[in-house]
Structure 1
């Protein structure tokens, strides 16, 4: 009896470096939404909005806290549709000594910043920080279906 050919579900990946500026962070968010839509995560859907918000927060942190003069930050977006599916967002910067807290605390009500990682933690199924040879990668995972 002939064996059936197994069809592999493709993993979609987008990786790009951006200038460590507010403009670079905005472009990262826009391109993340564009690629997710191309991969079947509709623009404006709950998942697309959550992923875009995570990209925005992590990119803003890379620009604000991870910036090294003359160096870019990198966005890597992966969509793996098999086994329930997951979207993984990774933002890497070159600053090693500036690591985000893994248990971010709610800032005082009058503070103007400090809520980005709380948003990431609320939107992602899990998130963390990975070491790199130079710098760090902050990553988050979102389930394609709940």
Structure 2
């Protein structure tokens, strides 16, 4: 057995209404959660995380919405920060278009931002729907999240 302690992953997950207000809430929750995990407010990494969450949540609300169904935001801090946004519409899958900026009036640049900010991103199937995920590597040493015994409960944010 390796003498080094294994790095434990910490997780945040929240169901959010599939509305524009819900997309904004996802960004705010992500911003608050990474601060609780020790990521300084306003640093380049924090800005990248909130931008990726905002873009993925906006896509879930605008293109993945099924009436009466929520979307979910899940973030797992391990060796990388993995962001997952799941919606109920599996047939609307975002396309990868490296090196091409979409020329869509009023939007269409969200996944270009995700492509630029994330180390990796993709789409996986789920039942029902899909999960769009992105992974970002913390540029320095990994922030140390608070101990789970300190009363940190992501459900309190609902």
Q: Same fold (TM over 0.5)?
A: yes
Unpaired segments ≥5 residues, structure 2: 141-158
Residue 112 (str. 1) matches residue 110 (str. 2):
no
The within-5 A match list for 1:47-66 is 47-66=45-64
Number of residue pairs aligned between Structure 1 and Structure 2: 139
Are 2:126 and 1:145 aligned?
no
- Partner Cα separation in structure 1 for residue 3 and residue 122 of structure 2: 37
Partner of 1:10: 8
* Residue equivalent to 2:127: 133
> CA–CA distance in 1 between the matches of 2:125 and 2:80?
22
Aligned residue among 24, 28, 32 for 1:30: 28
**Corresponding position of 1:96:** 90
SS at 1:140's partner residue?
A: strand
Deviation, structure 1 residue 107 = 2.4
For the aligned residues, what is the CA RMSD? 1.8
Other-structure match for 1:21? 19
The offset of 1:5, in angstroms, is: 6.8
Q: 1:123 maps to what in 2?
A: 117
Q: Distance in 2 between matches of 1:69 and 1:19?
A: 10
Q: Distance in 1 between matches of 2:19 and 2:7?
A: 36
| TM norm structure 2 | 0.82
With the length of structure 1 as denominator, give the TM-score of the two structures. Answer: 0.88
